[in-house]
Structure formats: structure tokens, C-alpha cells
């Protein structure tokens, strides 16, 4: 065993109290804001119906390149800093098989957050959905990966008032992948890509962080917390009103890059007092930049190690694995044909331009010759 665990089993969960050397069994009703518990992933219920698949794809590609990235993420998300030791026998479902540099729950600021209620043992995930869904969907992960989470609110016993309180506290996003309102009963039963749908506009927004907008920092007035609730989701909701993601093939790097360019331009061109999505905040308050950071955008779409590059690499490989060989060959042949036709059109246009320039030069020479003849007479 690599590390001591100051945790005890409590109704299917493990209570972790970093400040205590003796963990005591308690009930969910006794958990207070800030307490941390360790539970398997399948005990977490989502508070939204959509995901950014491309961030998950990027994570999975990172893990494929080096498994250390996965164990580092596991340690970090559990508040145990980074990974210290792991080997070929390590598995993410058993924390005893790898060692982190810290103890689980040590850094409470980075823990994913949950709301308890309205019944005993029901945990709604309110922060950390993308990374935890990555652990759910990765080949060696799944439902039993243990995760340490922090209690944000304990609404046990709130009964029929539970969803009203969740909505009032900005803890639930009731909009689906089509931008339509949904009810709490429509929320998926589990996290992960099999249950949550891909909001492609959300992918655009997350890629454009720092390029066309930058999440505001606390200013001590309106935005007193480190983040605005559902900032990226509201930007995604706004983008829906100004562009059609279906116009682009997101498996094609060039088309995806074009979609990002359009989205970035839309975001910076919006009036700074435009209310974004259903945030009740202006574009300026939502971190809108004055102009697109073209250099950062270029780096994003050209660097194969950027989140975009990693996600696209995963997309391409995933598409190739799921597409019959004959179809892939046909698509490749069609692409080559289109490229050849494009080159021929460019060649023809250049030849026509060259001929036009030559005709113009001949005309000028003839005109000059005529003028010289007139002068000699």
C-alpha cells in the first residue's frame, strides 16, 4: 500500500477528513459544506445534459500518448497534487496501485463539487464533469473509479423544493444539445458520453478561451466568485443564434478551424452590452475581448499538441476505426479528385491571367509603335 488513507466507509462512500487522524462514521445528513467524501463515479448524477466531447477526446489522446498523464490527472482531481509512482500493474480503479505526491483531499480547492439531496446518498455533480466523464469513458476506467469530491451544499430533506433551490443557486443547466429547455426529469442518469450529448457550440467556446474571450476574475462587486456560473454554456447558447455548426465537418481540421474563426469573430463583434445567452450579463461582463487573438488561434489550430490538435487526432482515428475501408478509400479518392480539380482551375486561371497580361503588353507596344510612327512623320 502506497499511502495511508484517513477515510472510512460510509453508506457506500468514504468520508475523508484531512484534519483528523481518526475518521468517524457519519450519515449524509451530517455532512457540511466543505466536507470531502470519496465515492465511485457511478454514484454521481449530472446537473446538465450536455458535454464538450472534444475536451474528452483531447484527454483520451493525452492518455494514449503517455499513461502518466492519466495518473497525474487522477491525483490532481483528487486533491493529491500529482502522480509520484505508478507502473504497468497500476489501475485507475484501485488507488492502492499508484502513489500520488499528496493525500486524497489534501488540496480541497481543486476537488470536484457535489450537492447532496434530496434523498440519502444522492449526489449531484456540479463541477468537474468533463474530466470525470473522461475517467468514465477511458478504456481502463469506468463506473468504479474512486473520486474524492467536496460538498457544496447539503439539501438532504429538501423534498419538492430541491430543484427550485438548485436553480436559484445556479447549480443546474436545463438546456439540451439543441439549445432547447428541458426539465430535471430529462437529465441523464449517469455522467459520460454514452448518456450526455455533445454540445458542439460548447466545444467551440472552450477552444476559444483566451482567444475571443477570457473568463473574468473576481472584482469584489458583481462577480464575487472565481467563476461566473455556466459562462461557457451561455456563450455556446449565444453562438447558436449567429452561426450553424452543421455547415462544417468537424472531422476535417480545415473546416473545424474555419468554424472556430467564424465563432471567434462573432464573439468579439457582438455589442459589448449584448446579453449573452441566459446569463443576464453583458458580453463585456462575460469576458469578451476587443479583438480575436489571431496568433493564439493560429497556434491552436496548427499545434498538434494543443487541445485542438489532440482532439482532432482522436477524431480522425476514431472515424477511421468506425468507417469501412472501402468507404475511406472512396472518400480519399474523392478528396484527391477535388484537390486535382482545384489545382487545374488555379492553373487555368493563372494561364488566362498571363495571356491577358501578354495581350495588354502587346496592345501597349502597338500603341507605342503607332505613336512613334506618327511622331516620325
Q: Which helix (H) or strand (E) holds 154?
A: strand 146-154
> What DSSP assignment string belongs to 91-149?
BTTBGGGSEESS-TTS-GGGSEEEEE-SSTT-EEEEE-HHHHHHHHHSTT--TT-EEEE
Per-residue confidence (pLDDT) for residue 11, from 0 to 100:
41
d(CA 222, CA 16): 34
Is 60 exceeded by the pLDDT of residue 269? Answer: yes
Beta carbons within 8 Å of 236's beta carbon, 6+ residues apart? 199, 201, 202, 204, 205, 277
What sign for the dihedral angle of Cα 263, 268, 274, 278? Answer: positive
Comma-separated ranges of CATH 3.90.1530.10 domains in the chain: 33-198
Report, as an integer, the average pLDDT of 33-44: 93
Instruction: Quote the mean pLDDT of the chain.
Output: 86
Q: CATH for 33-198?
A: 3.90.1530.10
Per-residue confidence (pLDDT) for residue 344, from 0 to 100:
81
State the SS3 of 299-336: HHHHCCCCHHHHHHHHHHHHHHHHCCHHHHHHHHHHHH
Name 271's bridge partners: none
Burial class of residue 58, CB neighbours in 10 A (0-12, 13-18, 19+)? buried
What sign for the dihedral angle of Cα 168, 172, 175, 181? Answer: negative
Report, as an integer, the average pLDDT of 73-77: 97
d(CA 339, CA 200): 28
Number of residues that make up the chain: 377
Q: Could you tell me the three cell numbers for 228?
A: 461566473
Q: With CA atoms as reference, report the closest residue to 205 among 180, 171, 228.
A: 228
Q: What's the pLDDT tens digit per position in 167-191?
A: 999 999 999 999 999 999 999 999 9
3-state secondary structure of 9: strand
Is 80 exceeded by the pLDDT of residue 154? Answer: yes
d(CA 90, CA 264): 42
Q: Which helix (H) or strand (E) holds 239?
A: helix 231-239
Rg, the chain, Cα only = 28
The region, left, alpha or beta by phi > 0 then psi within -120 to 50, assigned to residue 93 is: alpha
The answer to whether residues 128 and 177 touch, using CB atoms and an 8 Å cutoff, is no
Q: What's the pLDDT tens digit per position in 242-253?
A: 999 999 999 999
Amino acid at each position: 500500500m502506497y499511502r495511508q488513507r484517513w477515510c472510512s466507509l460510509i453508506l457506500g462512500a468514504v468520508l475523508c477528513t484531512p484534519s483528523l487522524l481518526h475518521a468517524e462514521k457519519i450519515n449524509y445528513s451530517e455532512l457540511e459544506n466543505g466536507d470531502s467524501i470519496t465515492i465511485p463515479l457511478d454514484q454521481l448524477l449530472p446537473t446538465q445534459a450536455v458535454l464538450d466531447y472534444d475536451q474528452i477526446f483531447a484527454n483520451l489522446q493525452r492518455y494514449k500518448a503517455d499513461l502518466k498523464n492519466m495518473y497525474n490527472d487522477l491525483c490532481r482531481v483528487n486533491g493529491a497534487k500529482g502522480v509520484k509512482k505508478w507502473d504497468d500493474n497500476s489501475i485507475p480503479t484501485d488507488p492502492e496501485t499508484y502513489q500520488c505526491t499528496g493525500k486524497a483531499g489534501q488540496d480541497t480547492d481543486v476537488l470536484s463539487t457535489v450537492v447532496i439531496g434530496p434523498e440519502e446518498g444522492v449526489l449531484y455533480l456540479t463541477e468537474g464533469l468533463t474530466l470525470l466523464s473522461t475517467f468514465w469513458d477511458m478504456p481502463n476506467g469506468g463506473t468504479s473509479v474512486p473520486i474524492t469530491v467536496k460538498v457544496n451544499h447539503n439539501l438532504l430533506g429538501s423534498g419538492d423544493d430541491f430543484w427550485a433551490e438548485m436553480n436559484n443557486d445556479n447549480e443546474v443547466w436545463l438546456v439540451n444539445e439543441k439549445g432547447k429547455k428541458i426539465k430535471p426529469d430529462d437529465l441523464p442518469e449517469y455522467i459520460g458520453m454514452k448518456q450526455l450529448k455533445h454540445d458542439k457550440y460548447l466545444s467551440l467556446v472552450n477552444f476559444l478561451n483566451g482567444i475571443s474571450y477570457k473568463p473574468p476574475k473576481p472584482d469584489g462587486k458583481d462577480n464575487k466568485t472565481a467563476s461566473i456560473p455556466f459562462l461557457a454554456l451561455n456563450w455556446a447558447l449565444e453562438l447558436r443564434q449567429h452561426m450553424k455548426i452543421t455547415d462544417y465537418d468537424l472531422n476535417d481540421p480545415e473546416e473545424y478551424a474555419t468554424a472556430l474563426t467564424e465563432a471567434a469573430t462573432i464573439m468579439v463583434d457582438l455589442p459589448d452590452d449584448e446579453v449573452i445567452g441566459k446569463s443576464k450579463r453583458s458580453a463585456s461582463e462575460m469576458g469578451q475581448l476587443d479583438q480575436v487573438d489571431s496568433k493564439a488561434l493560429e497556434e491552436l489550430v496548427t499545434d498538434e499538441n494543443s487541445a485542438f490538435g489532440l482532439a482532432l487526432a482522436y477524431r480522425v482515428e476514431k472515424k477511421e476505426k468506425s468507417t469501412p475501408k472501402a468507404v475511406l478509400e472512396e472518400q480519399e479518392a474523392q478528396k484527391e479528385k477535388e484537390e486535382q480539380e482545384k489545382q487545374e482551375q488555379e492553373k487555368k486561371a493563372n494561364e488566362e491571367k498571363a495571356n491577358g497580361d501578354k495581350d495588354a503588353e502587346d496592345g501597349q507596344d502597338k500603341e507605342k509603335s503607332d505613336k512613334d510612327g506618327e511622331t516620325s512623320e
